[in-house]
Amino acid sequence: MPRDNLSVFLAERPTGDIIPGRTLKLRTSPAPEPSDLRDGEILVEVLYLSLDPAMRGWMSDARSYMPPVQIGETMRGLTACRVLASRTPRARPGDVVSCAAGWTEYAVVPEGKFEPASHYPGLRDPLDMLSALGITSLTAWVGMTHIGGPQPGEQVVVSGAAGATGSVAGQIAKIRGATVVGICGSEAKCGWLVGELGFDVALNYKAPDFEQKFKAATKSYIDVYFDNVGGKILDMALSRAKEHARFVECGHISQYNTSAPEGPRNLSKVITMRIHMQGFVVFDHAGDFPRARRELSQWLAEGRLKKTEHVLTGGLGVAELGLVGLYNGVNTGKLIVEVKKPNRNASNL
Amino acid sequence: MPRDNLSVFLAERPTGDIIPGRTLKLRTSPAPEPSDLRDGEILVEVLYLSLDPAMRGWMSDARSYMPPVQIGETMRGLTACRVLASRTPRARPGDVVSCAAGWTEYAVVPEGKFEPASHYPGLRDPLDMLSALGITSLTAWVGMTHIGGPQPGEQVVVSGAAGATGSVAGQIAKIRGATVVGICGSEAKCGWLVGELGFDVALNYKAPDFEQKFKAATKSYIDVYFDNVGGKILDMALSRAKEHARFVECGHISQYNTSAPEGPRNLSKVITMRIHMQGFVVFDHAGDFPRARRELSQWLAEGRLKKTEHVLTGGLGVAELGLVGLYNGVNTGKLIVEVKKPNRNASNL
């Protein structure tokens, strides 16, 4: 009996903010069948969809690190899935895999485009593929390890600190012995960063005395700035950079939804303070993922790294509003949509 | 018989442009005497004063890589000098030395704060200490060698290309086998860059079709951008950066004379193109100067590196206007003030 497949496609490229109901649209089509599979392919049911700041960039046709999603195409997205049928020895029905199935309930995924649970050491829950051991944690690990390189006693500032990447980046810096200031968008998030995640200081950038507090918190200047937001806070971080500071350019979320981005006026500090500013895209570092996941998994097991998940239930119908919320800071930790309630008995985890 | 010493001091910190006659002022005082020298010191007569974009920064009390010049203090500057008297075995009267004597005719320079001619391999003229083998050439060498690292066939863009640093940076990139586009501020400079210095392409940023021509000249995108100017041209270079481009942040001359600098709106390209942006200050790399000077001197001798000097005669009285002109692009190559006409017979070169 053919099943319906609910999916979300890109209907229109946004120029500024995503417009709910116009930028993305839902559609129902027949789900792919096991009999559709060719050698090497698997048929999956999507359990969880990761919502990520990068999605706004994927909707734009500006030159970037990967081609944009095409109009009419199913929106791109990372997912944790259960295998329904398989024509490869690398996965059996019931296995959990991660892949980029996109904003859809069912998908066919070719060989080499999925990762089995065995790639996730210590995995206990399919959610971990998208959160604690997922791409945002890998992003935090790569940026801190290869660019930031915080040393014990150094001063690290993380923006977007209550987000999926920032919350892990700050925790990694703490594990490596640095003093960590997190910047986020609410007092509640500040409390969570300090109380739950062990940040030394957390500052709410919406507070009226934020600039003063930022200066006070960085009075010995900044060794490592892990940038998730760009814009004004990047500008302030430049003005407080120590000599030879490292600026880990991971994301500029404050600038994604505008066609008139603001450039940092203090960029000349790059010269006078000899700043090393390095942008990166985590997908370039796939060779490091096994090592990163081993380390993250061990920290998790030891209780040194806290999981930070923010799961929206309600299926794909709530995904677009979830994404809009992401740019407005509704989430605390990794934002994930539960697409299909996982039947844990049916999974080989 | 005591001699008069003409010097120039900082009278007022400029907020925007340097204001001739107000920012800097002339004064006459008695010149130091040989009898004033303590052990290790030398008394020098300044032959040439180097005028450099960094001078605007030294006038400002914003946090930077060295303390600002104080109000009332002789303006800082690099010089080529003749030794009049010495109380160190490292220099004899008549020797030529380089040092930071400042905007003055006579100065006492302590041990360790001057470099004898022997540090300049192949030196034939005291001018070379400030031009071909001087700090701007060292700056070009350090930036291209340690950050830019152009490979044969790569596309290099140099802004401020007709300036002292840019003209040498572009030539070094050519020597290393890259294709070089120079950006400068006049058609005459364009002709000089291509005709005399061997740049592949030169573009006048004041031309009405500059943006179009810039795009055409960078159609295969930019591997190395050697930035002397910041501002709008940096922004354009970001928009044309190739993946993994290196941005050598050497100077932001377009932004020095303003209290409201413009930030580059395309800075997010640092992330999507994984740009390595690195600021540097040449004085950090003093350990490399002997190697850099040997290499520069050899290229000069082989005719592969052309000297580019722009000498103002008229003594210290013309220096301030010379500096103002520097920010307006009056010079082609290294701008130098002849402070005292060198009596070549009296020098031990």
DSSP assignments along A71-119, one per residue: TTSBPP--EEEEEEEESSTT--TTBEEEE---SBSEEEE-TTSEEEGGG
Q: Could you tell me which residues come within 8 angstroms of residue A95 by beta carbon, excluding any fewer than 6 positions away?
A: A82, A83, A86, A116, A117, A347, A348
Report yes or no: A157 and A225 within 8 Å, Cβ to Cβ: yes
pLDDT surpasses 60 at B344? no
Out of A65, A234, A260, the one facing B272 most closely (by C-beta) is: A65
- At residue B62 the predicted structure's pLDDT band, cuts being 50, 70 and 90, is confident
Can you say how many angstroms the Cα of residue B114 is from the centroid of all Cα atoms in its chain?
Answer: 18
B-side interface with A, Cβ within 8 Å? 57, 63-65, 230, 234-235, 243, 249-252, 255, 260-281, 284
Chain A residues touching residue B280 (CB < 8 angstroms): 271, 274
Out of A252, A268, A279, the one facing B252 most closely (by C-beta) is: A268
ipTM comes to 0.87
**Cα distances (angstroms) measured from residue B184 to each of A46, A149, B56, B249:** 56, 38, 20, 17
Q: Which residues of B203-227 are buried (b: 16+ CB within 10 A; e: fewer)?
A: bbbeeeebeebbeebbeeebbbbbb
Chain B residues touching residue A273 (CB < 8 angstroms): 65, 279
Average pLDDT of B252-276?
90
**Cα distances (angstroms) measured from residue B262 to each of A263, B234, B253, B326:** 7, 11, 12, 20
B268: left (phi over 0), alpha (psi -120 to 50) or beta: alpha
Out of B251, B265, B272, the one facing A64 most closely (by C-beta) is: B272
Contact A271 B252 (CB under 8 A): yes
- Of A24-33, B20-29, B261-270, the range with the lowest mean pLDDT is B261-270
Average pLDDT of A76-84?
97
Average pLDDT of B175-193?
97
Chain A residue closest in CA terms to B254:
A268
Interface A:B, Cβ pairs < 8 A = 113
Assigned fold of A4-120+308-338: Quinone Oxidoreductase; Chain A, domain 1 (3.90.180)
Contact B249 A271 (CB under 8 A): yes
Average pLDDT of A40-45?
98
pLDDT surpasses 70 at A116? yes
Where along chain B do the CATH 3.40.50.720 domains lie?
A: 135-283
Out of A65, A255, A272, the one facing B65 most closely (by C-beta) is: A272
Task: Give me the residue label for tokens 């200066």.
Answer: A215
Contact B270 A264 (CB under 8 A): no
Average pLDDT of B88-102?
96
> What is the distance in angstroms between the Cα of A308 and the nearest Cα belonging to chain B?
25
Pick from B59, B252, B271 the residue to mutate for testing the A interface (most A CBs within 10 Å).
B271
pLDDT surpasses 90 at B224? yes
Where along chain B do the CATH 3.90.180.10 domains lie?
A: 4-120+308-338
Per-residue pLDDT at A122: 85
Chain A residue closest in CA terms to B277:
A277
Question: Is the C-alpha dihedral spanning B67, B71, B73, B77 positive or negative?
Answer: positive
Per-residue pLDDT at B304: 95
Contact B272 A281 (CB under 8 A): yes
* pLDDT tens digits along B73-92: 999 999 999 999 999 999 99
**Cα distances (angstroms) measured from residue B221 to each of A63, A155, A233, B154:** 11, 36, 29, 10
> What is the distance in angstroms between the Cα of B245 and the nearest Cα belonging to chain A?
10
Is B135-283 a CATH 3.80.30.20 domain? no
Contact A274 B251 (CB under 8 A): no
* Whole-number Å distance between alpha carbons of A347 and A345: 6
Report yes or no: A99 and A109 within 8 Å, Cβ to Cβ: yes
Chain B residue closest in CA terms to A241:
B63
- Beta-strand relationship, B309-312 and B334-338: parallel
Chain B residues touching residue A255 (CB < 8 angstroms): 268
Helix (H, G, I), strand (E, B) or coil at A11: coil
Per-residue pLDDT at A97: 97
DSSP character at residue B177: T
Q: What's this model's pTM, rounded to 2 decimal places?
A: 0.89
Contact B250 A271 (CB under 8 A): yes
